[in-house]
Amino acid sequence: MHAEVVDPFTHIVAPFFPEEKCGVFGVYGAGMEAARLVHSGLWALQHRGQESSGIASSEGKTIRLYKGEGLISRVFNEDHLALLSGNYAIGHNRYATSGGSGKTHAQPILGKHNLIALAHNGNLPDTSALEKYLKKQAIDISVLNDSEMMQAAIEHELHRGNTIKKTLKKLLPLFTGVYCLLLLTKDSLIAIRDPSGVRPLSLGKLNGGYVFSSETCALDTIGATFVRDIAPGEMVVVTAHGLKSHQLQPGDEKLDIFEFIYFARSDSMLLGKRVDVVRKNLGRQLARETDLAADVVIPVPDSAVSAAIGFAQESSVPFDHGLIKNRYIHRTFIQPAQRLREKTVNMKLNPIPESISGKRVAIIDDSIVRGTTAKSLVERVRSAGAAEVHLLISSPPVVYPDFYGIDTPRQTDLIAFEMPIKKIVKYVGADSLHFLSYQGMIKAIELPESTFCTSCFTGKYPSSIGKRSREIKSCAHSDLAREE
């Protein structure tokens, strides 16, 4: 899924690979300092957020916190981890989609009373009920984003002497939207998933302790054993007395289908399925739906690699890495020359002419947002000598915006909303463009459609988006991919 974004450090206009709001990781007991395990877990979840990172820990008496801007490797050193003592800890990788960016809004969030630290994955598109509550309590919300408002409300109730269970039963109905929360008190760790379960959250065990993670790949990294997913609407509380589960709200699983298509790491498990296997199935299904003569299949790295392999296996068209990704272009604080600022696609993805020249090339990508990056990619592949360039997308057209923690543009900026497929083909300069059909996507994942949030394709939002619903318009082109 590609558009454009201004890199916060280099100020370069760059291709936009959509980002999720964050990744969360927590550890309660495990035979060693929890912060070090959380640090390793956040490394494995770095793909879910690169703007800032933080860790909060407790030894049973005081919550300690350290956070900063940038990647894990930049934020933490040995001295920081040494300060984060204790056997309970939570961590957070952030990619801002609302409410500001930078260290000020980095997470976990810890209030002035040192009662509770909060890490949030998701987004509350409608905070009106929460704002009303906070204003009634005379709490200033002028500089708070959605995550900070949740923390302020919880801390307020705890400061009044309420228990965590009573507090959350009272406040969760005010959290309108999507949230996976990790909460750290001085002597407990709490995990909560919203009633729709749009974002993933898993439970693991390690050395007699418990581990919580946005994705199972991070459990693997520290050697934890996967136990189960946290259920939608469930609260899990871990204390010295063990683990207790509470179903605070009725749950109805609606996992964001883009976790399978793009967001999750390919080695993670979602709903009992390996992401890599599902993405290969998406590619195979795309090949079955596409009557295309090609000489080579090349993926847009990294998320489209599995789909391209599946496409190649099903179509018997040879697979090759015809585009090489520079993984560090957005991780430097040194600005490239001015003349390169508008050519970041060239810096990010470089074609290999020997794999492309004189061939009918099928480029596999996971999705298209604005189409600007797709246009640049087609131009780059043609300049490398391709005889034909065919663009194949392993998901249906994105015609509705996301309000649940994914940084997508306004609906009028979505190319598939604005143009029928024939016009998109002309705009990107490809010889042809093929999207995976909606029903083909569901078939490839091999789970019931009712299990998923498919709002970017259907405009059906399982969790209320409140006043934001006024921004949504029906799309005349939304069924075109099914007719391919």
CA distance 55 to 323: 36
> Measured between alpha carbons, how far apart are the two ends of the chain, in Å?
20
Exposure string for 242-279, b = 16+ CB within 10 A, e = fewer: ebeeeebbebebbbbbbbbbbbbbbebbbbeeebbbbb
Catalytic annotation, pick one of 22, 180, 217, 475 = 22
Q: Is 217 annotated as catalytic?
A: no
The answer to whether 317 and 359 are in contact (CB under 8 A) is no
The three state secondary structure string of the chain is: CCEEEECCCCCCEEEECCCECEEEEEEECCCCCHHHHHHHHHHHCHHHCCCEEEEEEECCCCEEEEEEECCHHHHCCHHHHHHCCCCEEEEEEECCCCCCCCHHHCCCEECCCCCCEEEEEEEEEECHHHHHHHHHCCCCCCCCCHHHHHHHHHHHHHHCCCCHHHHHHHHHHHCEEEEEEEEECCCCEEEEECCCCCCCCEEEEECCEEEEECCHHHHHHHCCEEEEECCCCEEEEEECCEEEEEECCCCCCCEECHHHHHHCCCCCEECCEEHHHHHHHHHHHHHHHCCCCCCEEEECCCCCHHHHHHHHHHHCCCECCCEEECCCCCCCCCCCCHHHHHHHHHHHEEECHHHHCCCEEEEEECCCCCCHHHHHHHHHHHHCCCCEEEEEECCCCCCCCCCCCECCCCHHHCHHHHCCHHHHHHHHCCCEEEECCHHHHHHHHCCCHHHEECHHHHCCCCCCCHHHHHHCCCCCCCCHHHHC
- Write out the catalytic residue numbers: 22
